[in-house]
Amino acid sequence: MAPFHLHTHWLKPLVPSGVAASRSQRRARGGGDAPRTGLLLPIVLFCYFSYYIFLKHLRYYCTYFASSLQNKNIVVFYGSQTGTAEEFSNRLSKDARRYGMKGMAADPEEYDMSELSRLTEIENSLAIFCMATYGEGDPTDNAQEFYEWLQETNNSLDGVNFAVFALGNKTYEHYNATGKFVDKRLAELGASRIFDLGMGDDDGNLEEDFVSWREQFWPAVSEYFGVEATGEDCSIRQYELVVHNDIDVNKVYTGELARLKSFEIQKPPFDSKNPFLAPVATNRKLNKGGTRHLMHLELDISGSKIRYDSGDHVAVYPMNDTSMVNKLGEILGSDLDTVISLNNLDEESNKKHPFPCPTTYRTALTHYLDISNPPRTNVLYEIAQYATDPKDQENLRKMASSSAEGKAMYHSWVQESRRNIVAILEDMPSLQPPIDHLCELLPRLQARYYSIASSAKVHPNSIHICAVVVEYETKTGRTNKGVATNWLKNKVVTDNGNKSSVPMYVRKSQFRLPFKATNPVIMIGPGTGIAPFMGFIQERAWLKQKGKGGGETVLYYGCRHQKEDFLYQEELEEYERSGVLTQLHVAFSRDQEHKVYVQHLLKQNKENLWNLIDSQTAHIYICGDARNMARDVQNTFFEIVEEMGGMTHNQAVDYIKKLMTKGRYSQDVWS
């Protein structure tokens, strides 16, 4: 069967990289450059000319891109924040080859999605959507515009073929809301669903959900278009290795995300592609006892023009542990200081390299690649060919297969045992993949988010973090250490006279104090869930000082032991004494025989809470563990509303849902 051809002139990048910042970058920006009135004219003129130049470039890029899409007939759009949906899209676009088709993964933010109906101009074309959900059932930043367009448009998508794989997590209230919406809305607009919506649960086994969906999806595509698989899965390199023996060191990336030397010459605005190197001003242990390490960090943002609001998140780009990187070099027998580029073999692709190149293997493994999470099955499949022991090769292939035995083996040997790539290579000595192929396959190291634990009203020049260091023993007896928290823990305030610094940017959130300071707030944040509330409380204290306060400020905090991990105890008690915190309730879960959690204290104070919520329009905030705590607290609120408001369970659920819609019940939770 001859390959289909995609002549997608409509499918052109709206914002070519390097020409203008993406919407997500714009959104992520904490930097504010509010124009002063006197500067207005020059700014307007500057904007006008920049726009003119931008349009000129855009035309050039559009032409280039339109021609680059020749021969592609499957487009896999991804809505992704932390890279998983993007990875899945890449895998699906690669799969297309087995059916004589040509696929490409595409970021919807870079295309004019309002022209989606023009896919019908291409015979037998297919749009696949891998869509992750965030927040309160929201799309990812890069899918926001597409999502809004889908909501508003009445354009007919008659004849557009599509399929959706949703990525989400069942512990969240709005499970896979974005994927479900996209799937439903495309069908409503007349597009043809060629395969059922796939649902991936990150709390369960997202990889398995995807593999199982994909396994049935391709035969359905094959049948729908009347094409046949051209053969077995085969490993095809996407990037070619170029070794630079004699390169100007100034042209080699050393960890920058986009602009070369951006860490040496720092220029605002700072965002996900251009993080600010914030010096660490404070790094102290918060807990007084116990085996864990809970820490308070202060990042100095003086001079960066970064602005933030209480409730925002700070994103931090960590580095992988040096000893793990060295171990990889040793196992693979590679000189980590070799300067290389991995260049896309598809010259027309708009993704030239898997990470900034040229760079060294050491930099790639330290800054750009995720070497600490258990690898996905596609990585196992691709590296299997390099195992010289047939048994190892068979096991790797089995784990990458969709057989029940293979899935169970992958689940137990890789996921449950938390084997990362180093552990896999150690436990399969016959496996010796070339380092460049491994670098092509490993996913990108992601930024970690932290709820900002300060208020810019009080600390305009610093951003505070409250975090717990992740360290645990695996089933194989290894100690696994969380990448970012262990790296942050070791960030000493002065490092050989130089201040150690952290690449960071601010991501705006919807987690906000009420507009009116007279509104009561009820904050529930056990453990590190206290973080954003330190900012909220500082802000309420600042408002009170300005004579603008007045609303009740209620905190429900929980920790294991009063004497060990009552974080910010002195500060909180002082806020209580000074009347900033009008109520401080602490649940010490392990100081008595039975567990006492925040929700038990909520239940005890149901009259007061009901009065604050129903009569005084209090705002409720929950922060911390998404898996159990947030759900249990929500159920407790259902009970309180049911009992105190004399409602049925369903009425109480509706009552809380209405508060959510009105922005009076907000969650900042993670798992």
Ligand X SMILES: Cc1cc2nc3c(=O)[nH]c(=O)nc-3n(C[C@H](O)[C@H](O)[C@H](O)COP(=O)(O)O)c2cc1C
Ligand Y SMILES: Cc1cc2nc3c(=O)[nH]c(=O)nc-3n(C[C@H](O)[C@H](O)[C@H](O)COP(=O)(O)OP(=O)(O)OC[C@H]3O[C@@H](n4cnc5c(N)ncnc54)[C@H](O)[C@@H]3O)c2cc1C
Footprint (CB under 6 A) of ligand X, residues 189-208: 202, 206
Among the options 183, 271, 625, 668, which is catalytic?
A: 668
Cα–Cα distance measured from residue 140 to residue 133, given in angstroms and rounded to the nearest whole number: 6
Q: Decide whether 357 or 467 has the Cβ nearer to ligand Y.
A: 467
Residues listed for the chain? 671
The answer to whether the beta carbons of residues 217 and 162 sit under 8 Å apart is no
Beta 498-499 vs 462-468: how paired, if at all?
unpaired
DSSP state of 626: T
HEC-encoded secondary structure of 15-53: CCCCCCCCHHHHHHCCECCCCCHHHHHHHHHHHHHHHHH
Is 125 a residue that touches ligand X (CB under 6 A)?
Answer: no
DSSP state of 617: -
Paired tokens of 648: 């049925």
- What stretch of H or E contains 481? strand 479-481
- Which of ligand NAP, ligand Y, ligand X, none does 71 bind, CB closer than 5 to 8 A by kind? none
Paired tokens of 216: 């049935």
- Which of ligand Y, ligand NAP, ligand X, none does 206 bind, CB closer than 5 to 8 A by kind? ligand X
Is 81 a residue that touches ligand X (CB under 6 A)?
Answer: yes
Residue least distant from ligand Y (Cβ): 482
Residue 410 annotated as binding site:
no
Residue 200 annotated as binding site:
no
Is 448 a residue that touches ligand Y (CB under 6 A)?
Answer: yes
Among the options 10, 487, 542, 670, which is catalytic?
A: 670
Residue 307 annotated as binding site:
no
Residue 64 annotated as binding site:
no
Size of the site for ligand NAP (CB under 6 A): 23
Is 525 a residue that touches ligand Y (CB under 6 A)?
Answer: no
Residue 455 annotated as binding site:
no
**Which residues contact residue 39 at a Cβ distance below 8 angstroms, ignoring those fewer than 6 apart?**
none
Find the binder of ligand Y among 90, 451, 455, 462 (CB under 6 A).
451
Please name the amino acid found at residue 215. E
Is 632 a residue that touches ligand NAP (CB under 6 A)?
Answer: yes
Is 168 a residue that touches ligand X (CB under 6 A)?
Answer: yes
Among the options 24, 213, 623, 666, which is catalytic?
A: 623
Q: Decide whether 278 or 286 has the Cβ nearer to ligand NAP.
A: 286
Cα–Cα distance measured from residue 483 to residue 370, given in angstroms and rounded to the nearest whole number: 9
Is 463 a residue that touches ligand Y (CB under 6 A)?
Answer: no
- Which of ligand Y, ligand NAP, ligand X, none does 372 bind, CB closer than 5 to 8 A by kind? ligand Y
Q: What angle do CA 659, 663, 669 make, to 5 degrees?
A: 95
The answer to whether the beta carbons of residues 120 and 158 sit under 8 Å apart is yes
Find the binder of ligand X among 17, 54, 57, 83 (CB under 6 A).
83
Q: What angle do CA 62, 63, 64 make, to 5 degrees?
A: 90
The answer to whether the beta carbons of residues 269 and 33 sit under 8 Å apart is yes
Question: Is-catalytic flag, 670?
Answer: yes
Question: Is-catalytic flag, 623?
Answer: yes
Q: What percent helix, strand, coil does the chain show, rounded to 5?
A: 40, 20, 40
Find the binder of ligand X among 161, 169, 462, 589 (CB under 6 A).
169
Which sign does the torsion angle of CA 426, 377, 204, 137 carry? positive
* Exposure class string for 265-276: b at 16+ Cβ within 10 A, else e: eeebbbbbbbbb
Is 670 a residue that touches ligand X (CB under 6 A)?
Answer: yes
Footprint (CB under 6 A) of ligand NAP, residues 256-285: none
Among the options 451, 454, 455, 509, which is catalytic?
A: 451
Q: In sequence order, what DSSP letters do the residues of 512-526 get, joined into one string? A: ---SSTTS-EEEE--
Q: What values do phi and psi take at 118, rounded to 5?
A: -75, -5
Find the binder of ligand Y among 313, 362, 367, 540 (CB under 6 A).
313
Find the binder of ligand Y among 21, 127, 483, 504 (CB under 6 A).
483
What count of Cα atoms within 13 Å lies in the side-chain half-sphere of residue 372?
25
Is 171 a residue that touches ligand NAP (CB under 6 A)?
Answer: no
Three-state secondary structure call for residue 100: coil
Return the residue matching tokens 């709206």: 14
Find the binder of ligand Y among 160, 445, 531, 581 (CB under 6 A).
531
Q: Decide whether 82 or 274 has the Cβ nearer to ligand X.
A: 82
The answer to whether the beta carbons of residues 130 and 88 sit under 8 Å apart is yes
Convert residues 576-615 into a mask of x (bound to ligand NAP by CB under 6 A) and - (unbound).
-------------xx----x-xxx----------------
Find the binder of ligand X among 132, 186, 332, 431 (CB under 6 A).
132
Is 470 a residue that touches ligand Y (CB under 6 A)?
Answer: yes
**Which residues contact residue 506 at a Cβ distance below 8 angstroms, ignoring those fewer than 6 apart?**
28, 29, 30, 306, 307, 308, 312, 313, 314, 315, 452, 463
Convert residues 551-570 into a mask of x (bound to ligand NAP by CB under 6 A) and - (unbound).
-------xxx----x-----
Residue 483 annotated as binding site:
yes
Q: Decide whether 306 or 466 has the Cβ nearer to ligand Y.
A: 466
Is 532 a residue that touches ligand NAP (CB under 6 A)?
Answer: no
Question: Is-catalytic flag, 130?
Answer: no
Cα–Cα distance measured from residue 94 to residue 235, given in angstroms and rounded to the nearest whole number: 10
The answer to whether the beta carbons of residues 331 and 422 sit under 8 Å apart is yes
Is 377 a residue that touches ligand NAP (CB under 6 A)?
Answer: no
Is 449 a residue that touches ligand Y (CB under 6 A)?
Answer: yes
Is 506 a residue that touches ligand Y (CB under 6 A)?
Answer: no
What is the set of active-site residues? Answer: 451, 623, 668, 670
Which residues carry a binding-site annotation for FAD?
Answer: 418, 448-451, 466-468, 472, 482-485, 670
Binding residues (CB under 6 A) for ligand X: these are 80-85, 132-135, 137, 140, 167-169, 172, 174-177, 202, 206, 670
Which residues carry a binding-site annotation for FMN?
Answer: 80-85, 132-135, 167-176, 202
Binding residues (CB under 6 A) for ligand NAP: these are 468, 470, 482, 526-528, 558-560, 565, 589-590, 595, 597-599, 624-625, 627-629, 632, 671
Which residues carry a binding-site annotation for NADP(+)?
Answer: 292, 528, 589-590, 595-599, 632
Binding residues (CB under 6 A) for ligand Y: these are 313, 318, 372, 418, 448-451, 466-468, 470, 472, 482-485, 528, 531, 670
